Structure 1
Amino acid sequence: SLAKIDSKNEYFLYSRKKLLDFKKRLPRLPAGNFRHCVDYFKKGPDRVLPELDIFHTSSYDLERPKKAERFIVTIHDVIIKAYPYGHSEKTIKEVDGELKRVLGEADLLIADSNNTKADMGKFYQVSESKIKVIYPGVNISDSSRLGLRPRSKNIANIVRASSEAASREQYILFVGTIEPRKNIQGLIKAFNLLKKEHGIAHKLIIAGMKGWMYEDIFKEYENSAFKNDIIFKGYISDQELARLYKNASVFVYPSFYEGFGFPILEAFGYGVPVVTSKTSSCGEIAGDSALLVNPERYQEIVEAILKIISDSSLRQGLIIKGFERAELFTWQNTSIEFLNCLTNT
């Protein structure tokens, strides 16, 4: 997206290892002003890159290059301070030190959300004037991005297709890493209550890789009287993830803390009603297009899920709102705001 709107500036894409196949990707760019610089031997940007007007990074462990006139850093979150549970004292100390250094060195900080901006002020006393919020994008119109539905003027067809799939498949979906911060234990407790007291026919599908400190999560699963209706998918392909999103009755994302929360927008883009946390950035990103709950109270998760699966009018309204909400988060908008930062900093 940045290449499409800026043919004036020259960009050097710096990476410490070759994460992407740029031989295939770079020729697709509409502009010839992008160069890829791979730092195979970890020499650092000063020994690999030329003189720069601006150096931008989202890696807090990179020091300010001497060759750069201005230093811009994107901070995705400050989980290490806002939700330190699950991190060792050594990791917390190291990351905290790196963040303090880079927050002080940067001329401008970019935050993924207002919540992250507020956290930088709260935990590191960073001035608001030094932080610019730029939301990342989700390619709703690009079918290559997890097969997301393209924009459509006929939203009624989307609602109808989603409703038919949900009534046919009947499952509640969660997507994310298996770790304490995602509140999967609370979701399983809510699911147990939905089965026991409300007799719902739905299954619970949890898609995502194991992260860390997941033992208690699987213990909660093993102790569930309804474990046969709880399915851990583990790592899945983009195609399978697309199918799970499109056919879900409801997507539930009760995370305790998120710097942004891409799965919320992905679910919106597929036309799936969403239940998510009112805390951290989740409520900010979802707006009024989802049912918001206190993640500490799994009874609220129960009530929100029940509302959606039992009220077709509410469900349809959330699908429409969610689809429209997702279309606000485009990489084109992100690139325009980012370019403004580069030219006006």
Structure 2
Amino acid sequence: MKIAIDISITDKTKTGTSIYVLELIKALKKDLPQNIELIYLRGPKSIKHKNIITQILNVLIQVYWLNIKIPLKVYSQKIDLVHFPANIVPFFRFCKTVVTIHDANFMREPETYNKLWSKYGLIQYINSSKIANRVITISEFSKKDIVKYFHAKEDNISVIYHGCRSLPINNDVYENNFGKYVLFVGGAFPSKNLPRLIGAFSKTSELNLVITGGEGSDIDNVKNLASQLNMKRKRVFILGFVSDQVLDQLYRNAHMFIFPSLTEGFGFPPLEAMRYGIPVTSSNSGSLPEILGKAAYFFNPLHEDEISESINIVSGDDKLRKKLIEEGYERVKKYSWKNCAKLHLNEYIKVFNNDFK
């Protein structure tokens, strides 16, 4: 059996979806049966300069890749099944198809997304739910949203949790110039709720805040708020995207980790923090209570006072910190890329054997 995976997303972003695709491929290759061949489909790169014209061009490039180039590759290479791991499939089914739809966040928090993209996304996600032989998603929370917003059949959706990756260890001497800090990892997008996080830090006094991740659409607003807080003394450090080696050191040296997202389909960073033995405080929205369980201290992400209170409580209560660290070590054991790959492979085989629609 020839299985193709569309890995185009890995050339476009460094978000959680890219991590998922890369880690899944690594795990699949380790235990792949001899009668299965994996083929990787890498599409054209997006135009980086962002304006309305390039956004439209990027959509057209994606439509061409999905609906013309991939079918031609499937036909010429005699591929049996294609997995589309980044939410969107072609407008018609030309072979057996599996899609991973990660969440419906643009429907749940529409004010935090581009309106034009959201309209396009809604059409595509509904199409994906109908066209694919099988839909995979990453949490029970996301499954409910996919049924609600995209009208997918509940019995055609499988929930497969991600694993928790191991970052490369950096043995170089690391100079911590941030003092005693709380770490946030993620892109500067409105859904990540960074303005409220910075507002909450204005109500604390001892700790600093380190923000690292891609420069999303909310980055200018985040930088402006950080500069206002930094007028008296520098307390907020915005690092942008850093290598995995640097991220390893940021986790190791953090006093605690915070994740204030308005909604999440899964949420890699708090699990990574738990793996490093860092106490985690997190938003109680989206899938985060499902994924993190009892291993995090939760707060309402809409209330700055609750965010700042959670920081003070987790920072100052040694007994609570010890409990969260111990619970975190146990929680991450639940998330294995090996198991994730095994369950994906089972879905591929079932689709190939017509065990689903």
TM-score (normalised: structure 2): 0.77
Partner of 1:275: 281
Percent identity (aligned): 28
- Relative distance call for 1:291 and 1:18 in structure 2 (3 A) is closer
How many Å apart are 1:14 and its aligned residue? 4.4
- Relative distance call for 1:16 and 1:295 in structure 2 (3 A) is closer
For the pair 1:218 / 2:187, whether they are aligned, the reply is: no
Partner of 2:85: 58
How many Å apart are 1:65 and its aligned residue? 6.1
Alignment of 1:1-345 (within 5 A): 9-15=1-7, 19=11, 29=29, 33-38=37-42, 42=65, 43-49=68-74, 50-63=77-90, 66-68=93-95, 70-140=96-166, 145-147=167-169, 169-195=179-205, 200=206, 202-224=207-229, 226=232, 228-344=234-350, 345=355
The separation in 2 between residues aligned to 1:223 and 1:35, in whole angstroms, is: 50
The separation in 2 between residues aligned to 1:273 and 1:15, in whole angstroms, is: 34
Query: Across the two proteins, how many residue pairs are aligned to each other?
Result: 307
CA contact (8 A) 1:39 1:48 kept: no
- Relative distance call for 1:14 and 1:240 in structure 2 (3 A) is closer
Q: Which whole-Å deviations, capped at 9, do the CAs of 1:153-177 have from their partners, x for residues lacking one?
A: xxxxxxxxxxxxx9x9521111111
Q: Which whole-Å deviations, capped at 9, do the CAs of 1:259-304 have from their partners, x for residues lacking one?
A: 2111011111111110111110122111110001110012111222
Equivalent residue of 2:98, what SS? strand
- Relative distance call for 1:228 and 1:217 in structure 2 (3 A) is same
Equivalent residue of 1:242, what SS? helix
- Relative distance call for 1:176 and 1:186 in structure 2 (3 A) is same
Q: Which whole-Å deviations, capped at 9, do the CAs of 1:62-115 have from their partners, x for residues lacking one?
A: 3166541x3211001122211122433221111111111111112221111111
- Relative distance call for 1:105 and 1:11 in structure 2 (3 A) is closer
Partner of 2:57: none
Partner of 2:49: none
Q: Which whole-Å deviations, capped at 9, do the CAs of 1:142-197 have from their partners, x for residues lacking one?
A: xxx3439xxxxxxxxxxxxxxxxx9x9521111111122111111111111111xx
How many Å apart are 1:60 and its aligned residue? 3.7
- Relative distance call for 1:82 and 1:319 in structure 2 (3 A) is same
CA contact (8 A) 1:74 1:109 kept: yes
Amino acid at match of 1:44: K
- Relative distance call for 1:227 and 1:256 in structure 2 (3 A) is farther
User: How well do the aligned residues superpose, as a CA RMSD in angstroms?
Assistant: 3.0
Partner of 2:53: none
Amino acid at match of 1:110: I
The separation in 2 between residues aligned to 1:147 and 1:80, in whole angstroms, is: 35
The runs of 5 or more residues in structure 1 that have no matched partner are 1-8, 149-165
The runs of 5 or more residues in structure 2 that have no matched partner are 12-17, 45-63, 171-175
TM-score (normalised: structure 1): 0.80
- Relative distance call for 1:317 and 1:209 in structure 2 (3 A) is same
The separation in 2 between residues aligned to 1:194 and 1:18, in whole angstroms, is: 38
The separation in 2 between residues aligned to 1:66 and 1:204, in whole angstroms, is: 48
- Relative distance call for 1:129 and 1:233 in structure 2 (3 A) is same
The separation in 2 between residues aligned to 1:66 and 1:182, in whole angstroms, is: 35
Equivalent residue of 2:202, what SS? helix
Amino acid at match of 1:302: S
